[in-house]
Chain A
Amino acid sequence: MNEPFGQSVALPPNVRIGPNTLITGDLAFKRFHSRRDTALIVGSNCTMDGVHFAFGEQGSARIGDFCYFTNAVLLCELELRIGNYVVIGWNTTIADSDFHPLAPAERIADAIACSPLGRGRPRPEIPRKPVVIEDDVWVGPNATILKGVHIGSGAWIEPGALVTRDVPPGARVMGNPAQVMGEVE
C-alpha cells in the first residue's frame, strides 16, 4: 500500500506550526508570497494534505488546533482567521479578496499590469476583507467562501455551497448563493 502521509513539507521562514501538525503536498507553499514576519501560524495537531497556501505579500493567517483540511485552496491577500476543530473538505476555495477590480476600465488596466508585459505597473487597490471561521465549523467539498464572510461556531456548510454572506453559529447553509436551511441537529 502507498503511504498517504509522510513528513511535513519544508516551511517558509515566516510560517510557524504547533506540535504534531502535519502539512503535506508538494504544492503547499508554491504560491506563498507573504512578506509578513509571521505570515501563517498553525496550531497543534492539525492535518493538512494537498492544501494550497496561496498568500499575497500582505497575507496573514492564523489557524487553531485539531483542524483537518484536505485539498483546499486558501487564497489570502489580507487575513484569514480559522478556529479550532475546523474541517475543510475536498476542492474547497476560501478567498479574502476578489483579486481584480469590478469596474471594467480598471479591470483592463489590471489585466495588463498582471500580464508578463506588466512588470512594475501599479495595480489598482482591490477590496479585501478578512474571512473568519470560528470553532467546530464543517465545510463540505467543492464549497467556496468569499471575502468578508464570518462563519459562526459549529456551522455546517453543505457541499458545493457558495458562501457570500455571514453564517450564524450552528446554522446549516447550502446552495448558490448559500442560504440558511436550518440548524445543525
Chain B
Amino acid sequence: MNPDRTLPWDWYPGRIPENVSLDETAYVETSFSFHFFRSRLPLGVEIGRGASTYLGTMFDIGPKGRVKLGNFTLVHGARIICDAEVTIGDCALISWNVVLMDTWRLPRAARDRRAELELVPTRRPRLATGDNTLARPIRIERNVWVGFDCCVLPGVTIGEGSVVGARSVVIEDVPPFTVVAGNPACVIRRLDPQTRTHDA
C-alpha cells in the first residue's frame, strides 16, 4: 500500500479506508472491495499477515461492523455483509460468490420492511441499514474451507478445519473437522484432524 493508502496495482481510483489495517505482507487486489465500507469503528477491517482478497470481494460493512481476516487467509470474491462482527481465522479459504452475512438488513415482517424500504431513497448512500441490533456475529475458525456460491447466515460458527461444499447454505453451527454440504447444509462426514499429506 502506498503512503496515501492507494494500491500500486489498483485499477480502481480508490483508497483503503483509514480504519482498515492491512498487514504489509497482505495483498488486496483492489480498493473497490471497500466500495460499500461504512464502518465507523476505530478498526473496521483487519487483514492479517499473508492474507489476500481478490476481485469480487466486497466489504459491505455497516457503521458498527467489524471484520477480521486471519493470517494466510484467502478470500476470492466473497461478499461480506456485516453489521456486527465477521471473524475469519488463519489459513481459511473462502471461494467465489460466497455470501457471509451476519445481518438480514431488512425486517422479516412485510409492514416493517415497507417502512424501511421507504427510507432507503432518502439516505445517502442509498442502502437498507435495517436494525443493527438484530445482527449476530459469524465466526469462521482457522483452516476452514468454504466452497463456491455458499451462504453463511447470521449467528453461524464454523469450527476449525471444517469444509463446506459448494452451493451450501449454512444455517446452523458446524462442528470442527466436519464436512457439510447441501441446502440447508448437513453433516456429510468427519475429518481426522491428524491426517495430513504434508506439513505446513
Contact = CB atoms under 8 A, between A and B. Distances in A.
Q: Which of A4, A49, A67 gathers most chain B CB within 10 Å?
A: A4
B99 A90 contact: yes
B120 A68 contact: yes
Interface of B: 14-15, 17, 31, 34-38, 79, 81, 97, 99, 101, 106, 108-110, 113-114, 117-118, 120-121, 124-128, 149-151, 153, 167-169, 183-184
A26 to B, nearest CB: 11
5 contacts: A2-B14, A2-B34, A2-B37, A175-B184, A176-B183
Interface in A46-61: 46-47, 49
A141 interface: yes
Contacts of A141: 79, 99, 101, 151
Contacts of B169: 142, 158-160, 174
B121 A22 contact: yes
A158 B99 CA distance: 13
Nearest to A135: B110
A163 B1 CA distance: 44
A142 B125 CA distance: 24
Interface of A: 1-5, 20, 22, 45-47, 49, 66-68, 71, 85, 87, 89-91, 136, 138, 140-142, 154, 156, 158-161, 174-176, 184-185
Given A4-B125, A158-B169, A160-B183, 14 more contacts: A1-B17, A2-B34, A3-B125, A4-B35, A66-B117, A66-B118, A66-B120, A67-B117, A68-B106, A140-B151, A156-B108, A160-B151, A184-B110, A185-B108
Contacts of A156: 108
A121 to B, nearest CB: 33
B113 A136 contact: yes
A160 B167 contact: yes
Nearest to B13: A2
A156 B106 CA distance: 12
Nearest to B117: A66
Contacts of A89: 99
Contacts of A66: 114, 117-118, 120-121
B97 A5 contact: no
Contacts of B125: 3-5
A49 B149 CA distance: 20
B108 A184 contact: yes
B111 to A, nearest CB: 9
B117 A87 contact: yes
B82 to A, nearest CB: 13
Contacts of B101: 141, 159
Nearest to A161: B183
Contacts of B120: 45, 47, 66, 68
| 3 closest residue pairs by CB, A with B | A160-B169, A159-B151, A136-B110
Given A45-B121, A159-B99, A85 B126 contact: no
B33 to A, nearest CB: 10
Contacts of B183: 160-161, 174-176
Nearest to A181: B184
B128 A68 contact: yes
Contacts of B117: 66-68, 85, 87
Nearest to B79: A90
A2 B35 contact: yes
B126 A87 contact: no
A58 B81 CA distance: 36
A184 B109 CA distance: 8
